[in-house]
């Protein structure tokens, strides 16, 4: 009766993410993760041989990798809506932000960076400009979400400022600095 489904790397990662979202990164431990999976902690090592380090890497990849989806609208509009989606993803899993900032998993942001760069080229920027632009955009996103995260953790009851509005306005300023207005 009720024999649990077998452990998989995916299930482990999803459960870990769920645990972080609910309890915070600090409460993610191998033993607790094992409990959530109804398994002894050491069982996890069979699927992630490099232990917690590897688990955290996978978590970053799962959250931070979100390239601009293909499409054919105005580059500027596509960037804008991607930025909103990306921020949404990051805020959904604020708990992993410290991991993303830490040295772990280089290359997790590679695909994302490249896709932005490409889109900026489509928008008419030269190679060097697109290179800088992608860095600016990704930097603004990570930094701004980090700031939001610390605010929302400081217990300000959100009536103080409208973060969404601020983000949208800020994104507008950033894009204004990056992409020259398209001639009609």
Partner DNA sequence: CAGCCGCCTTTACGCAGTAAGGTGCGATCA
Partner DNA sequence: TGATCGCACCTTACTGCGTAAAGGCGGCTG
Tokens (6 digits) for 121: 């080229």
Q: Does the protein bind DNA through residue 6 (CB under 7 A)?
A: yes
| Interaction between residue 104 and DNA (CB under 7 A) | no
Q: What are phi and psi of 158, to 5 degrees?
A: 65, -10
Applying CB under 7 A, does 101 fall inside the site for DNA? no
Q: What b/e string do you get for 91-129 counting C-beta neighbours within 10 Å, with b at 16 or more?
A: bebbbbbebbeeebbeebbeebbebbbebbbebebeeeb
Minimum distance from residue 158 beta carbon to DNA (Å): 30
Interacting residue with DNA among 10, 14, 22, 40 (CB under 7 A):
40
Q: Tell how far CA 180 is from the center of its chain.
A: 27
Q: What is the largest CA-CA distance in the chain?
A: 67
Q: Is 166 helix (H, G, I), strand (E, B) or coil?
A: helix
Alpha-carbon gap, residue 111 to 161, rounded angstroms: 33
Tokens of 60: 């970053």
Of the residues 52, 89, 104, 121, which one makes contact with DNA according to CB under 7 A: 52
Least gap, CB of 13 to its own copies (angstroms): 20
Choice from 150, 158, 164, 182 touching its own copies (CB under 8 A): 150
Is there binding between residue 30 and DNA (CB under 7 A)?
yes
The nearest distance, CB 25 to DNA, in angstroms, is 10
Closest to DNA by CB, 47 vs 89, is: 47
Which residues here bind its own copies, judged by CB under 8 A? Answer: 97-98, 100-103, 106-107, 109, 131-133, 135-136, 138-144, 146-147, 149-151, 153-155, 161, 166, 169-170, 173-178
């Amino acid at each position: 009766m009720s024999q649990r489904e077998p452990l998989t790397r995916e299930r482990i990662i999803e459960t870990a993410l769920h645990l972080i979202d609910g309890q915070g990164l600090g409460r993610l431990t191998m033993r607790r993760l094992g409990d959530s999976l109804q398994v002894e902690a050491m069982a996890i090592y069979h699927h992630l041989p490099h232990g917690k380090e590897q688990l955290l890497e996978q978590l970053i990849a799962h959250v931070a990798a979100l390239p601009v989806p293909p499409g054919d609208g105005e580059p500027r509009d596509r960037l804008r809506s991607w930025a909103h989606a990306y921020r949404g993803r990051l805020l959904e899993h604020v708990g992993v932000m410290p991991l993303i900032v830490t040295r772990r998993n280089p290359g997790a942001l590679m695909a994302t960076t490249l896709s932005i760069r490409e889109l900026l080229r489509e928008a008419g920027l030269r190679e060097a400009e697109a290179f800088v632009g992608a860095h600016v955009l990704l930097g603004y996103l990570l930094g701004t979400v980090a700031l939001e995260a610390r605010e929302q953790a400081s217990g300000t009851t959100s009536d103080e400022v409208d973060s969404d509005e601020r983000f949208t306005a800020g994104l507008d300023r950033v894009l204004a600095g990056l992409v020259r207005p398209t001639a009609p």
